[in-house]
Chains A and B, each alone.
Chain A
Amino acid sequence: MRGLLGELATGTNGEAMTITDMEASIEHMSRATVRHVDAILMVTEPYFRSLETVGRMVPLARELGIEHIWAVANKVRSERDEEIIRSYCAEHGVEVGAVVPWDEAIQEADREGRALMDYEPDSPAVAAVQGIADLVEGKAGSSNGRGGQG
């Protein structure tokens, strides 16, 4: 019941947000669920095969008319890691929305089957995801008149 109220509560506490954790496969990109999203976050690790997945998804996301497309660099351990992701994304014309550092707290929370937010809310990874929340909030409301640029 609260789920319903949550959806209907738009405008009282802020815009309603839907966050969909998608299937890993890129075939998913062409399916109905993703067609209706305003933004896509492509989470990537700093190694070639992971980046290639982003490289394959981006044209599909554009084709589907998704308004905001961001890469999220994850598990970044060094400047070199960040550089690898940034240069790949620059080459492919994708904006890097956030850089999430490698964070032991994630592995530890996983080990215990707990949420990172409960295990260590002040961890560096959470701080980086705050940046993603800023990004999403910044674009919220601007996506009502959908239709895209092409």
Chain B
Amino acid sequence: MKVAVAGKGGSGKTTISATLARLLARRGHPVMAVDGDPNPNLAVALGMSQDSRNRMVRVPKDVMETKEEDGVRRLVMARPIEEVTAEYAMPGPDGVDLMVMTGVDHAGAG
């Protein structure tokens, strides 16, 4: 199940994302938290240690690439997802894994 959390800045979406991630992890689900905000602070909201936060590397844009299929441009993985999570996901409290994106959403623009 993939869940996106959206809302106006300041609406509290990061706190809700983090809390939801940890509760689901406590219920026994493997949870991947993804920070898609250009000003990322999900790591703090998740309660990740300073040390882990310092060691985190943002997922670079080039893990995705633009492909054209039937005249429709779409973003696809340039590398297998398993490889990406292994390299960039950082384990946090309650076993929640976190990945921080580098504006991947804008990758198709160029």
Contacts and interface: CB of A to CB of B under 8 A. Distances in A.
A33 B107 CA distance: 11
B86 A3 contact: yes
Interface of A: 1-10, 13-24, 26, 28-29, 31-45, 49-50, 53-54, 57, 66, 72, 74-75, 100, 106, 110, 113-118, 125-126, 129-130, 132-133, 136-137, 139-141, 143
Interface residues of B, number: 61
Contact of B20 (A5, A32, A132): A132
A75 B85 CA distance: 34
A50 B1 contact: no
Interface of B: 1-24, 27-38, 42, 44-47, 64, 74-75, 81-82, 85-86, 88-91, 93-95, 97, 99, 104-106, 108
B88 to A, nearest CB: 8
